[in-house]
Amino acid sequence: MAEFTMELNDEQKEVRDWLHGFAADVIRPAAAEWDEREETPWPVIQEAAKVGIYSLDFYAQQYFDPTGLGIPMAMEELFWGDAGIALSIVGTGLAAVGVLANGTEEQIGTWIPQMYGDPADVKVAAFCSSEPDAGSDVAAMRTRAVYDEAKDEWVINGTKTWATNGGIANVHVVVAVVDPDLGSKGHASFIVPPGTPGLAQGQKFKKHGIRASHTAEVILDNVRVPGSCLLGGKQKLDERLARARERARAGGGERVKNAAMATFEASRPAVGAMAVGTARAAYEVALDYAKTREQFGRPIIDNQGVAFQLADMRTQIDAARLLVWRASWMAVNGRPFTAAEGSMSKLYASETAKTVTAQAVQILGGNGYTREYPVERMHRDSAIYTIFEGTSEIQRLVIARTLSGMPIR
């Protein structure tokens, strides 16, 4: 087990500096253009693939870093560059985590490489969980997967929404109901291979922020996938469902996590790191502006009203980073989140991003409200962190339930 540390080692610092250089030299110069175009920045993703950032190898190296700091460090630097473009680069990772969390070794080796493609022909993947009537309330999910035993195939029908890369992905990971009587415990995850008939993109959403990241509905109409596309395999699913039914009959608390929740739990600290990156970027712009912008014959940072805001912003950013690093270290080293530390990290970091970016706009005044300065875009982008992969309200609910042991609603 790696000891928890607040200091990156030499190798991590080298990777951090490399990522920071890519974010500064490639991502930032393209940020405003792709935000305005509201399109997937394929040329930037391809550049990331060419240098090795958008690849299974790089993701695996950071994911299996024994300190747990590889992923949050990488996310912070990329999202420091721009949230929309960075999400286009790392969005495939959520689908990859879904396979890593629920799949067999064979499934991991087969499907994750196909999610990324290669530098000459980059691909993306999508994790499809949310539905029009089932966002935070995963128990309300309606997408259904029915097993056709004669053909050893699963037939999937339903509509997914808010799917990053939905419809344009090479590989889709879809969460569906296999036993409606078990509520959220009756869910399973499935791989939908490239070119599978019946899967289509629905509405593409025009968003407030992260506009360079593709978000859309995914329509599944009698989609048939081989039995081997059930993540974890049918024997494991049958055993899990049997345990859930037995506990339900006994009236005991059901501790088995469903497929979507296992994925989100693993990714929450990473989302917190994204928020830290955006907050840090806005803080740095505001600090530089306050030191050079003069009013009444002196830089505005000479005024306590501005200086104290910057002090609070930096304090909140550092506190958020420490919560993210703690949760990331705990997750990699098998420490249970006995106080919902994963949710704590996402909650505090996402709220910090909203607060810090709003303060940055205020410090820049009228300039901060224009698209001539990046804090306007950063402020729009920050809103998503308190919404996706579990709203702030859901994080508070998870924390409260964990701390109290009560079924708080």
Contact 276, 349 (CB under 8 A): yes
The residue among 375, 315, 389, 302 whose CA lies nearest residue 346 is 389
Q: Residue 126 in contact with residue 218, Cβ under 8 Å? A: yes
Return the number of other C-beta atoms located less than 10 Å from residue 98's C-beta. Answer: 29
State the pairing for strand pair 121-122/117-118. Answer: antiparallel
Q: Are 133 and 217 in contact (CB under 8 A)?
A: no
Residues whose CB falls within 8 Å of the CB of residue 387, separated by 6 or more in sequence, listed in order: none
CB 164 within 8 Å of CB 214: yes
14 contacts 74 by C-beta, under 8 angstroms: no
200/196 Cα distance (integer angstroms):
9
Angstrom distance (rounded) from CA 191 to CA 80: 32
Nearest to 75 by CA among 284, 351, 353: 353
Beta strands in 263-363 (DSSP E): 294-295, 298-299
The enclosing H or E element of 148 equals strand 144-148
> Around Cβ 288, how many Cβ atoms within 10 Å?
11
Beta-bridge mates of residue 220 = 158, 199
- Known catalytic residue: 372? no
Contact of 350 with 306, CB cutoff 8 Å: no
Q: Bridge partners of 156?
A: 145, 223
- Coil, helix or strand for 69? coil
| Beta bridge partner(s), residue 164 | 215
User: Using an 8 Å Cβ cutoff, are 363 and 137 in contact?
Assistant: no
Per DSSP, helices labelled H in 103-205 are 105-116
Catalytic residue, candidates 7, 239, 389, 393: 389
Q: Annotated catalytic sites, by residue?
A: 389
